[in-house]
Amino acid sequence: MILVKALSKRFGDLLALDDVDLRVGAGEVVVVLGPSGAGKSTLLRCINRLTQPSSGEVFIGGERIPDTRSELRRIRSHLGMIFQDHNLVERMSVVKNVLTGRLAFMPLVSSLFQVFPRKDIDFALACLKRVDLEDRAWTRADRLSGGQQQRVGIARALAQRPRAILADEPVASLDPASARLILDDLRRAAHELGIAVVCNLHQVEYAREFADRIVGMRRGRVVFEGAVPDLDEAALALIYPGPAGARSVGPA
């Protein structure tokens, strides 16, 4: 579903992404592991063009990510993204935040006047139900806990009926219980709805629990790729150089 070919990104002297190839199938959860600064975020942001890559190509469902703006919007509308800080609009209600995932599919003018098609509202509520928050639909987003806000972030991505979801450190600022709940939601949605998921994490244990496949990055390069059992000490040493004890507890 997601195909990344020879993707590179240079920031001045820094080669943040160095010739990265990646393939993610429908319904597959790929976890990208790596230390801070390895290029994980840049990889995701180059896939949906929040950052313009220096070279390389990205295909979503066989369709090349285009350069023209309106075409890019169309592709993005089927690409969900989940952020570390959830990036909800805090003053809006939960359901309206989820509805923003459907904006690209609504008539422009009426949406600007806050008129939403009934079917979109119903679908937004269904997405909230999926993350078990339908009873908080009409609460203001900033009244929810951090973990709940991130689940609203997932619902917003699901509201796009995405072919793929890019999750950038979705649980980095959450306690383990909330983190597992969120990764579980994400994984279930991917498997049930056939969504390709690329999820950046820095905790090895979460990666082992939730990934179908793991990609390890270091200094902009893919240094490991394999199934969960393949992630042994040798693989970890490639991804995280330095003393072995420091590995499983990555920086927040």
Q: Which residues bind another protein (CB under 8 A)?
A: 48, 50, 72-81, 83, 85, 87-92, 96, 100-101, 103-104, 108, 111-112, 153, 156, 160
Q: Which run of H or of E encompasses 196? A: strand 196-201
Considering the complex, what minimum distance in angstroms separates the CB of residue 157 from another protein?
8
Considering the complex, what minimum distance in angstroms separates the CB of residue 11 from another protein?
17
Pick the closer one to another protein by CB: 90 or 205.
Answer: 90
Considering the complex, what minimum distance in angstroms separates the CB of residue 29 from another protein?
19
Pick the closer one to another protein by CB: 158 or 207.
Answer: 158
Considering the complex, what minimum distance in angstroms separates the CB of residue 90 from another protein?
8
Cα–Cα distance between 33 and 52 in angstroms, integer? 22
* Phi-psi category of residue 87: left, alpha or beta, with phi > 0 → left and psi -120 to 50 → alpha: left
Q: Which run of H or of E encompasses 213? A: strand 213-218
Pick the closer one to another protein by CB: 123 or 224.
Answer: 123
Considering the complex, what minimum distance in angstroms separates the CB of residue 57 from another protein?
19
Pick the closer one to another protein by CB: 54 or 100.
Answer: 100
* CB contact set of 27 (below 8 Å; sequence gap of 6+): 190, 191, 193, 194, 195, 196
Residue given tokens 């959830």 in the structure block = 86
CB 80 within 8 A of CB 165: yes
Pick the closer one to another protein by CB: 35 or 101.
Answer: 101
Cα–Cα distance between 231 and 228 in angstroms, integer? 6
